[in-house]
Amino acid sequence: MAALRVAVPVLALLGLCPGPAAATAPLVIWHGMGDSCCNPVSMGYIKKLVEKKIPGIYVLSLKIGSSLIQDMENSFFMNVNEQVSQVCRQLAQDPQLQRGYNAMGFSQGGQFLRAVAQRCPAPPMLSLISVGGQHQGRVYGFPRCPGESSHLCDWIRKTLDLGAYSKAVQEHLVQAEYWHDPLKEEEYRKNSIFLADINQERGINETYKKNLMALKKFVMVKFLNDTMVDPPISEWFGFYKSGQAKETIPLQETSLYKEDRLGLQEMDKAGKLVFLGVQGDHLHFSEEWFDSTILPFLQ
């Protein structure tokens, strides 16, 4: 019997005996503009759905602020760089995430979580799923803006049209920080305090590139009937051809990809980039689609 007791761990050490099954990686979710961490018809619903379909998984739906109202308000008015810094500290202090986690961002939460991946490698983000995130920015449209006739929405649109790249607007209006006007490329590169930084528009930060390339998968979901994001191809990291606002090009034709400033070309060749399309307007998808298409990336 003594020999048998010794043999089992020896086989395990040699890799010939399977150990216990690995636990499912935790999931971190970041909501979009005008939403909150725990809205029962959006992020609260997604959290419960994932927990139901993957028993035992730890799901953290990020809340920016001390209340749900503050969380929603901060999605409009809190400097994105400070939001990302707060999230990085929160993740670093969460004992359930220390061995790594998957991340899923909805609309602007997609590009915000990409910033987390690039700036904060500990704890490690394993895979990033961007659901309608605008990775090359946008020039119009507000997903989940509270009411098309809302005075707030109208004010934001007018403010962006008049002075998106002014210092005061950049520092205090979230949507200005990923506003990308193809007719004002130089102004965007010079004055955008968030998107131009994480997209390496002013130089190459090798740490950003190294950290993003550490992802196992970078999944990008584009809504094929999107009427709220301009241009929708930004959800697949494409954008307008420089200097005009009519013809769009895919990621593979952009200078970002050709110069491989973020490592996306290398990731693409390694099969790490996944481009998914779903019928419907912005953030409109069925539970069946989510179950069959998104959940496999979490298991």
Query: If DSSP codes are grouped into helix, strand and coil, which group holds residue 100?
Result: coil
Separation of alpha carbons 56 and 229, rounded Å: 35
Residues marked active site are found at 107, 226, 282
Helix then strand then coil, % of the chain, to nearest 5 = 45, 15, 40
Furthest CA-CA distance within the chain = 81
Phi, psi dihedrals of residue 100, rounded to the nearest 5°: 115, 160
Burial class (CB in 10 A: 0-12, 13-18, 19+), 222: buried
Q: For CA atoms 246, 251, 253, 258, give the dihedral sign.
A: positive
Separation of alpha carbons 210 and 205, rounded Å: 9
